[in-house]
Amino acid sequence: MANGDDDPRVYQALALPDKALEDGGVEILRLGIIKDELYVSALPAFTAPSQWGEVLAEVAERLGAIYAAQNTALDKKDVTVQIAEAFVSEMGAQPVKAQAKPKAKAKASAAKSTPKKPAAKPAARRKKR
């Protein structure tokens, strides 16, 4: 009890990342669970609220990596997909069924008769930290 871990009145906050301590920055989102209720503090940091979708997607990817790093039986991509599926379900979206992949034979014959176009360059992404 010396560190307060046993005391329910002590809020157990996460430590700031070393990079934040070195370079500074701004906290845009804080989540906490208090008596089984989710509490959220957020800074409306973006001009377009839709930009939060990009942030939440990156959070899901990073959570996938955290879970996979802590449990070798888990795969980062699988965890990220599970999070994304739970998110869209909570938002009330209907599940989308995956489309069947075309048969390899049909794909190969189409590739022979259709000239290939050069691949488009991927869209730039924000730098991952």
Does a structural domain hold residue 26? no
Residue 56 lies in a domain: yes
Q: What is the pLDDT of residue 102?
A: 67
Global pTM exceeds 0.85 = no
Quote the domain boundaries for residue 87: 48-93
Q: Is 72 within the bounds of a domain?
A: yes
Question: pLDDT tens digits for 40-58?
Answer: 999 999 999 999 999 999 9
In a domain, 52, yes or no: yes
SS (H, E, C) 29-91: EEEEEECCEEEEEECCCCCCCCHHHHHHHHHHHHHHHHHHHHCCCCCHHHHHHHHHHHHHHHC
- Do the Cβ atoms of 80 and 63 come closer than 8 Å? yes
2 within a domain of the structure (yes/no) = no
**What tens digit of pLDDT does each residue of 63-111 get?**
999 999 999 999 999 999 999 999 999 999 876 676 766 666 555 544 4
Strands 37-42 and 29-34, by their bridges, are antiparallel
**Assigned domain for 17 exists:** no
What pLDDT shows up at residue 122?
Answer: 41
Asked if the structure places residue 68 within a domain, the reply is: yes
For the chain, how many structural domains are there in total? 1
In a domain, 65, yes or no: yes
